[in-house]
Each structure stands twice: as C-alpha cells, then as structure tokens.
Structure 1
Amino acid sequence: MKSITLSLLLGSLLCAGGAHATAAEHVRVSHAWIRVLPGDLPAGAYVTLQNDGDQPAALSGASSTRYTDVMLHHSSTAGGMSRMTMVDTVTVPAHGQAVLAPAGYHFMLMRATKPVKPGDSIPLTLKFSDGSTLVARFIARPANAIDAGGEHAGH
C-alpha cells in the first residue's frame, strides 16, 4: 500500500512539474550569425529571439564547443564614447522579441578552438535563467558583414 501511495505521489509531482514549460520551449531563433574577425580576435554573435510564451524569458548566456568562452555584452555610445559592458541577462518579453545586433546586445565569442571561416555553421547553446537551454546554429559571416546576409537580410 505504501509503495502505491508513493508511486501516485511521485507521478502527480512529475505531472505538475511538466505543466510548467521552460523558457526555451517558447523561444524561437532566427537570423543567427557570427561576425568573424581576422586572427585570434573575438567574434560577435547576433540573433533574433522570438518568445511565443505568456511569460518573459531571460537569456542568461551561452556556450559553444567552438569557443572557449562566450559572454553576453551590450554596446552603447554616450557623449561620443563607445562602451561595451558585460550583462547578466537579456529579457525576451512575453509574445515579443529581443534582437541581439551590432552596436547593441550581442555575444562575444573568445578564443576559437579551431579556425572559424565564413560559411561555417557554429552551434551555440543558449542558456536561460530558469535553467533551460536551446541549441541554435549560427552562420559565420565575414568581418565586413552587417547582418545575417542572403535570404536572412531584412528579417
């Protein structure tokens, strides 16, 4: 009798836990690209995140097997001075989007584990503050790129 009660209790807890979707389940990725710079200079990664969920999603970072370190940054200009600061999160509003783009929020990709060249498809694991993750493929673009390029331009 105790084992049946325990099984029912565990089953109901698992079902209750499954009722709450993670942030990553509601977020879609588009226009994911990397600006590759010459030599061992850090690369910038940019993406549009669309949140179809009823709650905001907090992007808290990323990782990649192709880079030793991935940091979430924000670029800004004030009084003619450009600044880049590390940030803890970027909020993707409920039923809205967040755009990581040049001169704004972006990922800094440090120390490639092997050379990355334009055309390469690089996986990044996006991390959310609720512990969920989403793997997205980013297309490497040349240093002079200003957007995702090709059929992705203008989206």
Structure 2
Amino acid sequence: MKSHALLLLLAGLMVTSGVHATEAEHVRASHAWLRVLPGDLPAGAYVTLENDGAQPAVLSGASSPLYADVMLHKSSSDGGMSRMAMVDSLSVPAHGKAVLAPAGYHLMLMKAIHPVKPGDTITLNLKFADGSTLATNFLARPANAVDSGP
C-alpha cells in the first residue's frame, strides 16, 4: 500500500514539473533576417517574435557562434537626430508579438568570425530572462535590404 501511494506521489510530481514551460517554448520566431554590411561593420538582425503564452516572455539577449558579440539595441529619432542605445531586454506580451525591425529594436552582431555573405543562413540563440533559449535561423541579406517581407 505504501509503495502505491509513493508511486502516485511521484507521478503527480512528474506531471506538475512539466506544467511550467519555459519562455522560449511559448515564442515563435518568423521573418528572421540580418543585414550584412561591408568590411568589419556590424550586422543588424531583425525578427518577429510571437508569444502564445499567458505570461510575457522577456528577450534578454542573443548569441551566435559566428559573432564575437550580439547586443540588443533600440534605434530612435528625436528632433531629426537618430540615436541608437543598448537595452537590457524586450518584453514580448502574452498572446502578442514584438517586432525587431530597422529603425526600432534590433540585434547588433559584432566582429564576425568569418565573412558572412548575402544568402548565408546564420543561427542566433535568442536568450530569455528565465534562462531558456530559442535557436533561430536568420537569412543574410545585402546592405540595401529594407524589410524581410511576409
């Protein structure tokens, strides 16, 4: 009898431990692309993140084996002056989306380990505040690219 109760308790614990999905498990990435600039200039990466979870997901950064550093930035314009600043995070609302796009939030990819050419596919690991990650393929596009399209 005691072993039956113990089995039920263990089964219940296993079910409850699986209920809490990570932030990354609730996020779907689409329209992922990056703008390749000439020489050693940093690349900009853009993506649409959709969260089907009941809680916000917080993008806290990214990494890539092909770039020495990846930072989350936000571009803004004030009085005709364009600015760019590093930010700590970007919230993807519950049952909503966040768009990383030119002239807004974006990822800056610094110091490519080897040259990236238009047409290449680069994997970025999007990092969320709970420690989870979402591997996402980004299509490299030329410097004059303006949008990823649908």
List structure 1 segments (4+ residues) > 6 angstroms apart after TM superposition: 3-10
User: TM-score, normalising length from structure 2?
Assistant: 0.92
Tell me which residue corresponds to 2:69: 69
Q: Where does 1:79-118 land on structure 2 (aligned, <5 Å)?
A: 79-118=79-118
Whole-angstrom distance in 2 between the partners of 1:83 and 1:97: 24
Say yes or no: does 1:119 pair with 2:134: no
Distance verdict in 2 for CA 1:133–1:6, change over 3 Å: farther
The sequence identity of aligned pairs, in percent, is 71
Aligned-pair CA distance for 1:146:
0.3
Deviations 1:116-142 (A, max 9, x none): 000000000000001111000000000
Q: Which residue of 2 aligns with 1:57?
A: 57
Q: CA deviation at 1:10?
A: 6.3
**Structure 1, unaligned runs of 5 or more:** none
Given the two structures, how large is their TM-score scaled by the length of structure 1?
0.89
Larger CA deviation: 75-84 vs 110-119: 75-84
One-letter identity of the residue aligned with 2:27 = V
What is the root-mean-square deviation in Å for CA atoms of aligned residues?
1.9
- Distance (Å, rounded) in 2 between the aligned partners of 1:69 and 1:6: 49
- Give the C-alpha shift of residue 7 in structure 1: 7.9
Q: For 1:29 and 1:38, how far apart are their aligned partners in 2?
A: 27
Q: Which residue of 2 aligns with 1:17?
A: 17
The CA distance in 1 between the partners of 2:129 and 2:39, in whole Å, is 33
Distance 1:84 1:4, change over 3 A: farther
Question: What is the CA-CA distance between 1:6 and the residue it aligns to?
Answer: 8.4
Q: Which amino acid aligns with 1:27?
A: V
SS state of the match for residue 15, structure 1?
helix
For the residue of structure 2 that corresponds to 1:76, the secondary structure is: strand
Structure 2: which 5+ residue stretches go unaligned? none
Which deviates more from structure 2 when the two are superposed, residues 118-127 or residues 14-23?
14-23
